[in-house]
């Protein structure tokens, strides 16, 4: 990899030459608000450099890795004066009805505060913008202070160009170029239809004005009134009356139009002279690009390797004849992320939406709402599933190596893969054990870890392929269901004993190479050792994790064939403490508090607005539904409620419940593993 740091003009960055700078398939939605955009305006018009962007050059194509929000703000600043006005209102805090003097005063005051220096100490008590400039009033600087003041004054004039001071006129720039109806609004070449009416497009209008300026023969390059009138009359075929009406209106308001042309010319000059620093990477690997992005954006949102793939040519190739399903999910994804929905489907979209098209009943993977907060997880899991299947690993390098895999048919292969994975999940979901497990509305991913859930599906998929892809009802499908129980048991054991703690990449890769070993049952004795240690609230000398114990409790319920009973539509179940935490805390000097989060003190309990145990002792529960559930799920009798309302009896609780777990993880577990 090589790189260079160069200076680029804003005009090159956003203008005609920017067509060679390609936007990645995916970049996060615009997060800059109006005030943020206006702060960039201040930097531009003060002549400051406007930050650093990152461009990665791959296969003679330039991809913008970082700088989209600045590019977007610069583009709008250059093309749309109404946007600049709206940004100013948000930053300076003035209203449509504010007077021009009020806007001026607030403008200079706000800029002084923002820049933390007094650029202008106007001796005129009215703070008149036309007051004489005094160089001594500007703090000494390496920048040309007089030029900075002139440029900022141009920004103020651009704002005032749009400001009407009239509550009935939202924007003067828009209003004045309707020419009081002398040219039919539908005929204006800078309007667009909106909801059955016509609306002036400020971008088109500004381009039109720049065209007028460029064609002017005037010595100062600002068209004269006669040139201005002649231009418009040459553009439109008007009746004699409308011609006169147009001439009279322009003549009466020529000071505005002349000022408008002058301000646009000056503001364009300032914007085009602005500079942006460019870190230009050449043939950077995805890892290098990710690291450089993170360094430049220290403290900001980090880009994942999967997101950076969207800035590589390979992932920006169009998928031929994509399925309606993938079109639907790509559309949903981009709409939820508030990004323009693309017209075509690209390879990158297949990985980004894979998990959304998989496991519709959420047996293996947790149901994640399609929103910005969950997007990174959804996308990462999708690409890692692809790399696990095609590259036998889930590390960043495995994901990147998907580009080199020539066996993948990106037009139809991913659709076929998703169909097959869903067939495997369907076979698993029909196994009796997983019906009990899933009755608690917990996916395998929620019970163990993301990586372990991926391994569960990928290993079973590969075994299914090795078994000649049996359909539901076939003998080998039954065998696959048994393998699924064995594998889940192993993954649960590994999760509880923290084998999956930390990076899982190397473990995943090893297990993919040794599928048959992973589909071999954990010896019963190993579970017995762990269960007895967990019963004491410890593992390897550390206090047990409540999260791990919760998962173990759900597994125990499935082994015992317990299923939840619902009272109304709002009932859900959560693992909670039988002897409440506050009761244990009060008795901590008399008991072994390590037992608080042991499985012996935990059970699934119904949770809804009308049905809660909360921190009540068991003998204070009067809800018959909760009492019935505790009796069933904790194997309690009525007299037990009184006994275990006292935290001092927690050892007795352990003695009562440990044998139940030993039985579940020996006899009952053996039945499921061999069924």
Given this model, what pLDDT does residue 530 score?
Answer: 97
Average confidence (pLDDT) over 191-207: 92
pLDDT higher than threshold 90 for residue 560: yes
How sure is the predictor about 97, in pLDDT bands with cuts at 50, 70 and 90?
Answer: very high
Report d(CA 635, CA 622) in Å as an integer: 18
Residue 363 in this model has a pLDDT that exceeds 70: yes
The residue-averaged pLDDT of 391-409 equals 93
Contact 75, 35 (CB under 8 A): no
The answer on 554 and 600 residing in a single domain is: yes
- pLDDT of 135: 42
Q: Do residues 471 and 411 share a domain? A: yes
- Would you state the pLDDT for residue 128? 45
Q: How many CB atoms lie within 10 A of CB 435?
A: 14
**Whole-number pLDDT of residue 129:** 44
Q: Dihedrals φ, ψ of 575, to 5°?
A: -70, 130
Q: Is the residue at 185 inside a domain?
A: no
Question: How many independent structural domains does the chain possess?
Answer: 2
Look at residue 357 and tell me if it is in a domain: yes
Are 654 and 535 within 8 A, CB to CB? Answer: yes
Asked, for residue 507, whether it belongs to a domain, the answer is yes
Tell me what pLDDT residue 147 has: 84
* Dihedral angle over CA of 328, 333, 338, 343, nearest 10: -40
Write down the residue that tokens 């923002």 correspond to.
114
Q: Are 431 and 481 in contact (CB under 8 A)?
A: yes
Which pTM does this prediction carry?
A: 0.76
Residues 6+ apart with CB under 8 A from 624: none
Least confident of 178-187, 191-200, 403-412: 191-200
Whether 621 maps to a domain, the answer reads: yes
What proportion of the chain, given as a percentage, has pLDDT over 70? 89
Among 28-32, 141-145, 308-312, top mean pLDDT goes to: 308-312
Same domain, 385 and 476: yes
pLDDT digits (tens, 9 = 90+) for 221-255: 789 999 999 999 999 999 999 999 999 999 999 99
Beta strands in 43-134 (DSSP E): 52-58, 61-66
Interatomic CA distance for residues 102 and 24, integer angstroms? 43
353-380 burial string, b = 16+ CB within 10 Å, else e?
bbbbbbbeebbbbbebeeeeeebbbbbb
Residues 495 and 620 in one domain: no
Question: Both 474 and 413 in a single domain?
Answer: yes
**Which of 489, 507, 522 is the last residue before a domain boundary?**
522
pLDDT above 60 (res 599): yes
Give me the pLDDT at residue 423, please. 98
Q: Are residues 497 and 643 in the same domain?
A: no
Res. 18 pLDDT band, cuts 50 70 90: very low
Q: Kindly state whether residues 366 and 503 are assigned to the same domain.
A: yes
**Complete DSSP assignment for 368-412:** --SSHHHHHHHHHHHHHHHHHHHHS--SHHHHHGGGG-TT--TTT
- pLDDT winner (highest mean) among 506-510, 572-576, 598-602: 598-602
Q: Is residue 173 part of a domain?
A: no
**Spacing of C-alpha 549 from chain mean position:** 31
The pLDDT value given to residue 229 = 95
pLDDT of residue 139: 45
At which of 522, 555, 572 does a domain end? 522
> Does 553 fall in a domain?
yes
d(CA 132, CA 337): 50
Q: Is residue 451 part of a domain?
A: yes
The pLDDT assigned to 127 comes to: 45
Structure tokens at 124: 């005129």
Taking Cα atoms as reference points, which of 212, 181, 215 lies closest to residue 198?
181
Q: 571 near 407, Cβ under 8 Å?
A: no
Higher pLDDT, 117 or 295: 295
Cα(506)–Cα(512) distance, integer angstroms: 10
Residues present in the chain in total: 675
Within a domain: 66: no
Answer whether residue 321 shows pLDDT above 70: yes
End-of-domain residue from the set 506, 522, 538: 522
**C-alpha Rg value of the chain to the nearest Å:** 34
Predicted confidence (pLDDT) at residue 611 exceeds the cutoff of 80:
no
The answer to whether residues 506 and 556 belong to one domain is no
pLDDT of residue 429: 96
Rounded percentage of the chain residues whose pLDDT exceeds 90 = 65
Q: Are residues 328 and 397 in the same domain?
A: yes
Residue 122 is predicted with a pLDDT of 38
Please determine, for residue 292, whether its predicted confidence score (pLDDT) is greater than 80. Answer: no
- Give the pLDDT confidence of 165-189 residue by residue, as tens digits: 999 999 999 999 999 999 999 999 9
What pLDDT is attached to residue 118?
37
Check whether residue 564 and residue 651 sit in a common domain: yes
* Nearest alpha-carbon partner for 209 in 184, 228, 226: 228
Residues 588 and 462 in one domain: no
The boundaries of the domain holding residue 620 are: 546-674
Residues 355, 486 share a domain:
yes
């Amino acid at each position: 990899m090589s790189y260079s740091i160069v200076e680029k003009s804003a005009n090159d960055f956003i203008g005609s030459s920017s067509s060679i700078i390609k936007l990645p398939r995916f970049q996060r939605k615009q997060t800059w608000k109006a005030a943020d955009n206006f702060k960039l305006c201040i930097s531009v018009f003060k002549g400051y450099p406007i930050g650093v962007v990152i461009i990665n050059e791959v296969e003679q194509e330039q991809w913008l890795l970082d700088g989209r929000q600045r590019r977007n703000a610069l583009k709008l600043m250059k093309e749309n004066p109404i946007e600049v006005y709206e940004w100013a209102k948000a930053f300076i805090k003035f209203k449509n009805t504010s007077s021009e003097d009020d806007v001026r005063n607030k403008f200079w005051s706000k800029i002084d505060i923002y820049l933390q220096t007094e650029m202008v100490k106007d001796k005129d008590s009215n703070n008149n913008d036309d007051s004489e400039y005094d160089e001594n009033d500007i703090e000494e600087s390496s920048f040309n202070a007089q030029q900075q003041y002139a440029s900022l004054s141009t920004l103020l004039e651009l704002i005032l160009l749009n400001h009407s001071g009239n509550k009935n006129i939202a924007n003067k720039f828009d209003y004045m170029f309707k020419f009081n109806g002398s040219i039919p609004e539908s005929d204006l070449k800078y309007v667009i239809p909106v909801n059955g009416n016509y609306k002036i497009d400020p971008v088109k209008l500004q381009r039109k004005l720049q065209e007028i300026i460029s064609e002017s023969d005037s010595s100062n390059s600002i068209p004269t009134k006669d040139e201005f009138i002649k231009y418009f009359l040459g553009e439109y075929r008007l009746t004699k009356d409308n011609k006169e009406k147009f001439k009279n209106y322009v003549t009466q308001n020529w000071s505005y139009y002349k000022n408008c042309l002058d301000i646009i010319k000056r503001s364009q000059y300032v914007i085009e002279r602005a500079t942006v620093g460019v870190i230009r990477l050449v043939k950077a690997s995805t890892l290098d690009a990710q690291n450089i992005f993170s360094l430049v954006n220290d403290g900001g949102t980090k880009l994942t390797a999967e997101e950076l793939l969207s800035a590589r040519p390979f992932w920006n190739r169009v998928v031929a004849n994509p399925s309606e399903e993938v079109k639907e999910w790509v559309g949903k994804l981009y709409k939820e992320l508030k990004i323009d929905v693309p017209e075509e489907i690209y390879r990158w979209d297949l990985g980004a939406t894979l998990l959304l098209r998989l496991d519709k009943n959420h047996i293996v993977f947790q149901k994640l709402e399609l929103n910005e907060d969950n997007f990174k997880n959804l996308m990462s899991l999708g690409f890692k599933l692809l790399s696990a299947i095609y590259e036998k690993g889930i590390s960043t390098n495995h994901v990147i190596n998907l580009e080199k895999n020539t066996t993948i048919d990106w037009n139809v292969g991913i659709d076929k893969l998703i169909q097959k994975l869903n067939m495997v999940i369907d076979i698993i979901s029909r196994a009796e054990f997983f019906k009990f497990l899933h009755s608690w509305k917990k996916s395998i991913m929620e019970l163990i870890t993301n990586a372990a859930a991926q391994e569960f599906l990928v290993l079973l998929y590969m075994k299914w392929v090795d078994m000649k892809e049996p359909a539901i009802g076939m003998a080998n499908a039954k065998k696959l269901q048994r393998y699924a129980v064995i594998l889940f048991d192993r993954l649960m054991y590994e999760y509880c004993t923290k084998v999956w703690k930390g990076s899982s990449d190397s473990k995943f890769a090893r297990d993919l190479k040794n599928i048959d070993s992973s589909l071999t049952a954990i010896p019963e004795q190993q579970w017995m050792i762990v269960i007895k240690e967990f019963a004491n609230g410890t593992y390897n000398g550390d206090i047990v994790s409540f999260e791990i114990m919760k998962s173990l409790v759900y597994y125990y319920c499935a082994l015992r064939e317990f299923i939840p009973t619902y009272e109304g539509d709002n009932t859900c179940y959560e693992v909670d403490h039988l002897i409440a935490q506050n009761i244990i805390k009060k008795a901590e000097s008399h008991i072994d508090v390590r037992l608080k989060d042991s499985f012996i003190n935990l059970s699934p309990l119904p949770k809804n607005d009308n049905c809660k145990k909360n921190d009540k002792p068991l003998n204070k529960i009067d809800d018959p539904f909760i009492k019935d559930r505790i009796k069933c799920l904790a194997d309690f009798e009525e007299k037990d409620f009184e006994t275990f309302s006292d935290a001092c009896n927690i050892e007795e609780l352990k003695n009562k419940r440990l044998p139940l777990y030993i039985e579940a993880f020996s006899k009952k577990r053996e039945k499921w593993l061999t069924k």
